[in-house]
Amino acid sequence: MRIIVLGAMLALLSGCASDRTTIDTSQSLVMESSVLSAGILTGEPVISEHEGQQRGASQLYNQQEKPVTLYYRFYWYDDKGLEILPFEAPRKITVAPHSSVEISSQTGNLTASKVRLYLYL
């Protein structure tokens, strides 16, 4: 009986020890459905180096007849999928009718290798 209980406890502990701190960063664009319904189109953010820092950028296009105001936030991750501090504050932007605007974020953390863009109204 002790062996069965000990084995069950070890199985539970080994499950708890798994690495759950990483985030699946394969999805680099998260856009709430309300943003798409408002007429905003965009693509995944592109990473480049700018003045010694990592820069993530994306173009937003408003296909509507009226301006659209939305919020966005960039999340930066290292190669292991861990989010890099400090967290960036959400930003607000208004995209004029039938026009595009570039949004971007920069981080001085040289371990940054992935970026995720989150858009919402």
Q: Give 83 or 50, the one with higher predicted confidence.
A: 83
Q: Give 37 or 9, the one with higher predicted confidence.
A: 37
Task: Calculate the average pLDDT of the chain.
Answer: 85
What pLDDT is stored for residue 6 in this prediction? 42
Tell me which architecture the domain covering 21-120 has in CATH. Answer: Sandwich (2.60)
User: Any idea where the domains of the chain sit in the sequence?
Assistant: 21-120
Q: Give 51 or 39, the one with higher predicted confidence.
A: 39
DSSP per residue, 45-96: -EEEEETTEEEEEEEEEE-SSS-EEEEEEEEEE-TTSPBPSSPPPPEEEEEP
The pLDDT-based confidence of 26 (bands split at 50, 70, 90) is confident
Q: Specify the pTM.
A: 0.77
Task: Using alpha carbons only, give the angle 62, 65, 69 rounded to the nearest 5 degrees.
Answer: 50
